[in-house]
């Protein structure tokens, strides 16, 4: 988060958020635009979430005009920041707001809040997001990295196994399936077994079958 400069009537709210001063923020809300942003697109809510200031976030979320899905310069919403930051309290506050869109993607990498939690290894956040309807199959801008792939790549086996056990992963995309198999082959037998089981269960459930694709092309440790 960079240094902020703000001018005009909205400066008081931004500065109060930076200082974490709830009473000053409450006072500023009387004359300030609750969605005012600094030069990098950070609103008071972005700042409160980034600072893991739950009470300030709650105050702002109670405002009838709050844009809970506002984006900063990088296209990140408060929920994405909260998911990456690992504060379950903040994530739950945001998810309780009826306007929160859980599957929005950041404009820079295209990550959702769930993907952010998988990258950072916040299993409790991932579970919370999925329980609130987060789509486990959304990929980032590359089209090659969803929450499962990121969890495996970043060595967060607990998140990967949780996602696999939801039974909601779509393995019909051969490239994503190969990605998962390739990365899992470097992460140990337990994860490999979970992945193999999940892929088999998917094709049994959908009435299809995995082609003789990467499942035979990926060499497991100890295999020729």
Listed by start position, the domains of the chain span 1-67, 68-213
pLDDT tens per residue across span 91-147: 999 999 999 999 999 998 999 999 999 999 999 999 999 999 999 999 999 999 999
Does the pLDDT at position 58 exceed 70? Answer: yes
Does the pLDDT at position 221 exceed 60? Answer: no
pLDDT tens per residue across span 12-36: 999 999 999 999 999 999 999 999 9
CA distance 130 to 104: 14
Confidence tier at 88 by pLDDT (50, 70, 90): very high
Identify the CA nearest to 68 among candidates 28, 48, 97: 97
Confidence tier at 211 by pLDDT (50, 70, 90): low
Q: Write down the pLDDT at residue 199.
A: 96
Percent of the chain with pLDDT over 90: 84
- Tell me if domain 1-67 and domain 68-213 are identical in fold: yes
SS3 110: coil
CA distance 216 to 205: 21
CA distance 66 to 204: 46
pLDDT tens per residue across span 89-106: 999 999 999 999 999 999
Q: Write down the pLDDT at residue 218.
A: 43
The CATH number for 1-67, chosen from 2.30.30.100, 1.25.40.20, 1.20.120.1200, 3.30.2270.10, is: 1.25.40.20
Q: Write down the pLDDT at residue 217.
A: 43
Q: 192 near 185, Cβ under 8 Å?
A: yes
The CATH number for 68-213, chosen from 3.40.50.1820, 3.40.1030.10, 2.40.50.140, 1.25.40.20, is: 1.25.40.20
Q: What is the pTM of this model?
A: 0.89
Q: Write down the pLDDT at residue 10.
A: 84
Confidence tier at 8 by pLDDT (50, 70, 90): low
């Amino acid at each position: 988060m960079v240094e902020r400069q703000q001018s005009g009537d909205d400066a008081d709210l931004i500065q109060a958020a930076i200082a974490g001063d709830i009473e000053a923020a409450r006072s500023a809300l009387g004359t300030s635009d609750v969605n005012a942003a600094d030069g990098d697109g950070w609103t008071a809510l972005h700042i409160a979430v980034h600072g893991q200031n739950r009470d300030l976030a709650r105050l702002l979320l109670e405002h009838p005009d709050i844009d809970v899905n506002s984006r900063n310069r990088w296209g990140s919403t408060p929920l994405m920041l909260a998911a990456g930051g690992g504060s379950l309290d903040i994530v739950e506050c945001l998810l309780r707001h009826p306007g929160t869109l859980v599957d929005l993607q950041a404009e820079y990498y295209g990550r959702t809040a769930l993907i952010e939690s998988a990258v950072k290894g916040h299993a409790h956040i991932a579970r919370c997001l999925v329980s609130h309807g987060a789509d486990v199959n959304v990929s980032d801008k590359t089209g090659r990295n969803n929450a499962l792939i990121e969890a495996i790549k970043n060595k967060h086996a607990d998140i990967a196994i949780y996602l696999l056990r939801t039974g909601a992963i779509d393995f019909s995309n051969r490239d994503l399936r190969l990605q998962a198999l390739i990365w899992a082959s470097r992460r140990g037998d337990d994860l490999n077994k979970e992945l193999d089981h999940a892929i088999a269960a998917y094709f049994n459930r959908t009435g299809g079958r995995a082609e003789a694709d990467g499942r035979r092309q990926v060499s497991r440790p100890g295999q020729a």
